[in-house]
Amino acid sequence: MTAYVIRGALVTAVASAPLTLSEGEILIGSAQEIEASALSRVQLAAIWNGLPGTNPISRFKDRKSAARRLWAAFQELPVPSELASAGPRPSSKQAKVVDLLKRPEGATVAEVMNATGWLPHSVRGMFSGALKKKHRLMLISAQEQRGRVYRIAGEATA
């Protein structure tokens, strides 16, 4: 099912709901959710004006018509392919890191450094920037005997 993430006046179609949303983001799955959202009519008009191929308006008559028109316009937005939203490009260093983090035993920063040749600050930056923010993966960490171990949430743990 296609869902839509609203960030200010920007709307992005997503093939599946992200695991986490940033502050100020709203996940929409139906016209009823648009109508029930906390967005004001001014914000709804700004979203409408930001959509490609729409005629700018100053305001909507009411929330119900705004929700109906926005939902119809949202469904015209291009949906990224499953491959594009699935994560990093295959055979890249990021994909290698994701594979390490999906293992039941997870991976330490040192193990990721050995696999990629990166420095510690690059590994931590990739965790927070690329994996958490860009690819929307939920990382969990735990202090274990071999050090701080990182895993992708939802994967089998030892």
**The domain boundary residue, chosen from 82, 115, 131:** 82
Domain around 40:
3-82
Residue type, 157: T
Q: Write down the pLDDT at residue 146.
A: 92
Q: Evaluate if pTM is beyond 0.85.
A: no
Q: How many domains does the chain divide into?
A: 2
Asked, for residue 70, whether it belongs to a domain, the answer is: yes
Shared domain for 140 and 75, answered yes or no, is: no
Asked, for residue 157, whether it belongs to a domain, the answer is: no
Shared domain for 102 and 53, answered yes or no, is: no
Report the range out of 81-85, 128-132, 140-144 with the highest average pLDDT.
140-144
Residues paired with 14 in a beta bridge: 3
pLDDT tens for 25-81 read: 888 989 999 999 988 888 999 999 988 888 999 888 899 999 999 999 988 887 765
